[in-house]
Structure 1
Amino acid sequence: MSDHDEAATVRPLTLAWVSRHLEVGERIVGIEALHGGITAEMRRLTVGTRDGGTRDLVLRSFVDPNFVEHAEDWLNREAGALTLLTGAGVSAPGLVAVDPTAAHCAYPSLLMTHLAGRTVLEDEGAETRVPVLAAQLVAIHALRPAERPRKYVALTTADTVVVPKGADAAVWAAAIDVIRRPPPSCEGRFLHRDFQPGNVLFDVLPSTPADARITGVVDWAAASWGPADLDVAHCCVNLALLHGPEWGRRFAEAYEEAGGVLAATVSERLYWRVRAALACSEEVRLVAGPWREAGRTELTTRAVEGRLDAYVTALMGALG
């Protein structure tokens, strides 16, 4: 077995579980750590096939004690979502096996098929990728599964918001007041609930930036049923932090241009965008770390906080 990265180690108990879910005559011949995940360890497993070829699987394991307590729920939800998505027209991993309570593995784990492509986080080409991302989210929201996933959960409250150092206290206080209100009524849609560039795979080598094509969407652990605006708002704030505050507005516009339908009034739309932005205030360090690992070294925690502050200020300006 080739393993050039100590971080790519998979515990023997888990390897034995994976092996039991391979085809007869197959074996694991390589392990690679996949970077960019926040809550779980991700490993690409290269499997040697009976005909002398190889195929890849992906193993997600919840190792961090801070997340293990949620693993059973998250893994069951992801397994359910991947099952619902089979044959639904959205490219997502196929479920191979799941052990949500670590009954067989060293840690709660999920095994799935590997999708081609890579995440793209650099600024170059953002203007061509954003419409493609928007069209993909419209397609996700158009899904009507036979069984709905559970209702969305919005964990952020007025008391959990973290105001960045140096931010305008009055602006942030007004933003916090926005989420004290009851959420607007809405028509439900199938939500990814963490749709953002880090969970979307593109062609590794498109012939030109304009040919950017999505090869798959991953990390369905938070799939839910709720307002389309919530998914849109989440992607808006991630793009604002990655590429600059104006990209949040551009993504929302691209979503509508692709046929997506948002809340009827400006105030309702901005409610969800403010909520998503304030939710990120609690996770700036967690979000910025994987981005730097992926090569965006300039996105320090402080730099991302500055972009978040600018984005919140712009949203509150739009609210008047």
Structure 2
Amino acid sequence: MPERPVDLTAALDWASSEVGSPVVSSEPLEGGLTSTMLALRHADDSESVLRLMTNEPWRTHGADLTARERDAQLVLADTDVPAPVTLGLDTVGAAAGVATHVMSRLRGARPTAVDDGTLEAMADVLTTIHAVRPPQPFRAFQSWAWQAKWVVPEWSRHPESWRRAFDVLDGPAPSYEPTFLHRDFGHHNLLWSDGAISGVVDWVETSTGPAWLDAAHAASNLAVAYDVERALAFLEAYADAAGARGDAYWLVMDVVGFLPPPGRPPMFGRPEQLERLDDWLHEVVAQAG
């Protein structure tokens, strides 16, 4: 059965109704690997953000993802974590044809540079996230390092490190204290204003799991976007802020999760990004012993 086309006009009408003020303008937001993200302005001069789960495979799971984001935002509303506020949810796509979530818009922009102060602020907000105690635990985290991905990439300069990584993951996972996780934490999901973090966005993967996995994912994203040195510096900052250091198993799991499923192209298209991912894997495998 063919997918129902996305009805953007109906989505904007729905958002107008949920917010309580007509949408007068919309513009796309950057990013959006899983979704179409639109910044909306309303007739009462308020602003909101509309998520439309348009992209597969996330579209198929849009009901669960958007409901999880809504639930996370409800939990975070009474905490010190600067998260959006949920304003309306259509999990079944009754209006637009896809799961849709409208939420408040937070002011700020993604960082243009990452220095020691940036890394320390990231570490501090991550410890604040991990201190959240929801009334009911969110789903157990899912590993993105599926066994089907355990194939040494042809572009690797460190094939033995990848083989060692797969051996590490083939062994038992270390024990951990169940913790509230963002699960896609990284500089790409942070907004900054006046030198401080003003928003943590994209809560569709919220989970319960090892705190070090959230830190690992942030480090991997820093390694790919910048370099190994900044990834290591973030882990040091997080370990200092949290007062604890995690097992390198979770670092390995996160890096392997960046490999594409069989038959699909790499997540990153630029050669230098693949080189940095390769170097990061080489580093974390060395830490795993």
Equivalent position of 2:74 in the other structure: 83
| 1:45 pairs with 2:20 | no
Code of the aligned partner of 1:13: A
Structure 1: which 5+ residue stretches go unaligned? Answer: 1-8, 207-211, 264-268, 289-299
Equivalent position of 1:140 in the other structure: 129
Out of 280, 294, 302, which is 2:258 matched to? 280
Equivalent position of 1:202 in the other structure: 192
CA shift, 1:285, in A, is: 6.4
Code of the aligned partner of 1:109: T
CA shift, 1:21, in A, is: 1.3
Code of the aligned partner of 2:244: V
Out of 241, 264, 272, which is 1:303 matched to? 272
Code of the aligned partner of 2:175: S
Equivalent position of 2:239 in the other structure: 256
CA contact (8 A) 1:60 1:110 kept: yes
CA shift, 1:168, in A, is: 2.4
The share of aligned pairs that are identical, in percent, is 31
| 1:222 pairs with 2:205 | yes
Equivalent position of 2:10 in the other structure: 13
Equivalent position of 2:89 in the other structure: 98
Distance 1:10 1:196, change over 3 A: farther
Distance 1:102 1:10, change over 3 A: closer
Task: Describe the superposition over 1:282-309 as per-residue Cα deviations: whole angstroms up to 9, x where unpaired.
Answer: 2896754xxxxxxxxxxx5211110011
Partners of 1:10 and 1:244 in 2: CA distance:
41
Partners of 1:161 and 1:308 in 2: CA distance:
15
Partners of 2:52 and 2:138 in 1: CA distance:
22
Equivalent position of 2:248 in the other structure: 270
| 1:130 pairs with 2:119 | yes
Equivalent position of 1:296 in the other structure: none
CA contact (8 A) 2:19 2:87 kept: no
CA contact (8 A) 1:157 1:179 kept: no
CA shift, 1:10, in A, is: 6.8
Code of the aligned partner of 1:243: Y
For residue 179 of structure 1, give the secondary structure of its aligned residue in structure 2: helix
CA shift, 1:92, in A, is: 0.4
Equivalent position of 1:110 in the other structure: 101
Partners of 1:113 and 1:243 in 2: CA distance:
30
| TM-score, with length taken from structure 2 | 0.91
Equivalent position of 1:74 in the other structure: 65
Distance 1:93 1:287, change over 3 A: farther
Partners of 1:56 and 1:10 in 2: CA distance:
21
Structure 2: which 5+ residue stretches go unaligned? Answer: 1-5
Out of 22, 25, 28, which is 1:30 matched to? 25
CA contact (8 A) 2:7 2:97 kept: no
Partners of 1:125 and 1:14 in 2: CA distance:
36
Task: Describe the superposition over 1:169-213 as per-residue Cα deviations: whole angstroms up to 9, x where unpaired.
Answer: 22211111111112111111110000001111111xx3xxxxx20
| TM-score, with length taken from structure 1 | 0.83
CA shift, 1:77, in A, is: 0.8
Out of 141, 148, 152, which is 1:152 matched to? 141
Partners of 1:316 and 1:148 in 2: CA distance:
31
Equivalent position of 2:3 in the other structure: none
CA contact (8 A) 1:45 1:56 kept: yes
CA contact (8 A) 1:11 1:106 kept: no
CA contact (8 A) 1:93 1:218 kept: yes
Partners of 2:196 and 2:259 in 1: CA distance:
31
Partners of 1:103 and 1:260 in 2: CA distance:
47
RMSD between aligned residues: 1.9
CA shift, 1:223, in A, is: 0.6
